[in-house]
Amino acid sequence: MTSTQRLAYLKGHGTENDFVIVPDPDGRLDLPRAAVARICDRRAGLGGDGVLRVVRSAAHPEAQDQADEAEWFMDYRNGDGSIAEMCGNGVRVFARYLLHAGLVEAGDLAIATRAGVRRVHVAKTGDVTVSMGRAELFEESVVVTVGGRSWPARNVSMGNPHAVVFVEDLAHAGDLLAVPPFSPASVYPDGVNIEFVADRGPHHVAMRVHERGSGETRSCGTGACAVAVATARRDGPAPAETGTPAIYTVDVLGGSLSITELPDGTVEMTGPAEIVAEGTFEPAWLTAALA
């Protein structure tokens, strides 16, 4: 990247989980951790909870084995520049971008991610649905500690790690989310996303989340799926046993997501995904950020 080249970006969000989208179809851009953190900085950069780099699967070493199924790879980074396996809101926004840019037709498409291929349904307008794969629920007990208080948590993987904590009142956790909650490194050696959940009604919960690598965000798609599945298991037998889908509404600070666990064990998420702006990086700024 030289200072004379103009690199395009877009800004998008899904339930206010916001991302800087960087189209890099041929995988030419070296995007070091510090550069991502600079781009996501809400004062000195563009601001975002993370970056979605858009690369052809065939052009990315981590996605070449998915290239036959999915033309595009979502290279997701957290706001601090760290790499995560999966981002549920990100993959909906990624699909919205592909359609916006004319790189795919409306309808069903496959997107390569570090957690494997995800199937997405995107129409010209409206919500985007993604099949998020199977949730993995672990039996071992986990304790989450914030500001001197501890709660038992459910350990759930959606391709990335989650600790789901049920609380009476979200206010109990909300004020504490500015500081990173503590969770055992023995269970989560690579860190964890922590969701605090309170009931709102039948099959309806609200959550707040502290994301690994981004801090408190206004929504987390994988977190909402982890929450829905942990709540469904608390509320009754698995859809695999009953043959009936479990459908939950999960309210987040930035809106609402609909999550369905199907009898085959896969989890579908439906929610909004919007592109809000596009532009180019100032070359001198970008050159310094990438240095």
For residue 71, what are the contacts with CB-CB under 8 A and spacing of at least 6?
56, 57, 58, 104, 110
Among 214, 231, 252, 254, binds ligand LBFN2T5F (CB under 6 A): 214
Q: Is 272 in the site for ligand LBFN2T5F (CB under 6 A)?
A: no
Shortest distance in whole angstroms from residue 99 CB to ligand LBFN2T5F: 19
* Least Å from the CB of residue 84 to ligand LBFN2T5F: 3
Residues 71-100 interacting with ligand LBFN2T5F (rule: CB under 6 A): 78, 84, 87-90
Binding mask 222-261 for ligand LBFN2T5F (x = CB under 6 A): x---------------------------------------
27 a known binding residue?
no
| 71 labelled ligand-binding | no
Largest separation between any pair of C-alpha atoms in the chain: 61
From 63, 111, 192, 220, active-site residue: 220
Q: If binding is defined by CB under 6 A, does position 273 make contact with ligand LBFN2T5F?
A: no
CB neighbours of 201 closer than 8 A, spacing ≥ 6?
A: none
Single-letter amino acid code for the residue at 151: W
- Distance in Å, CB of 5 to ligand LBFN2T5F, minimum: 29
Q: Per CB under 6 A, does 155 bind ligand LBFN2T5F?
A: no
Comparing CA positions, the residue from 121, 133, 132, 63 lying closest to residue 95 is 121
Confirm or reject binding of residue 160 to ligand LBFN2T5F (CB under 6 A). yes
Q: Is 220 annotated as catalytic?
A: yes
Residue pair 278/9 in contact (Cβ under 8 Å)? The answer is yes
**Of 87, 93, 198, 228, catalytic:** 87
- Cβ count near 207 (within 10 Å): 27
Measured between alpha carbons, how far is 164 from 166 in angstroms, rounded to an integer?
7
Identify each DSSP E strand in the chain by its residue range.
8-14, 17-23, 50-56, 72-78, 107-112, 118-122, 128-134, 136-137, 142-146, 149-157, 161-166, 193-201, 204-211, 215-217, 246-252, 255-261, 266-271, 274-280
Rounded CA separation 287/43 (Å): 18
- Interacting residue ranges for ligand LBFN2T5F, rule: CB under 6 A: 17, 78, 84, 87-90, 160, 193, 211-214, 217, 220-222
Residue set of the binding site for substrate: 17, 78, 88-89, 160, 193, 211-212, 221-222
Binding residues: 17, 78, 88-89, 160, 193, 211-212, 221-222
Tell me which residues are annotated as active site.
Answer: 87, 220
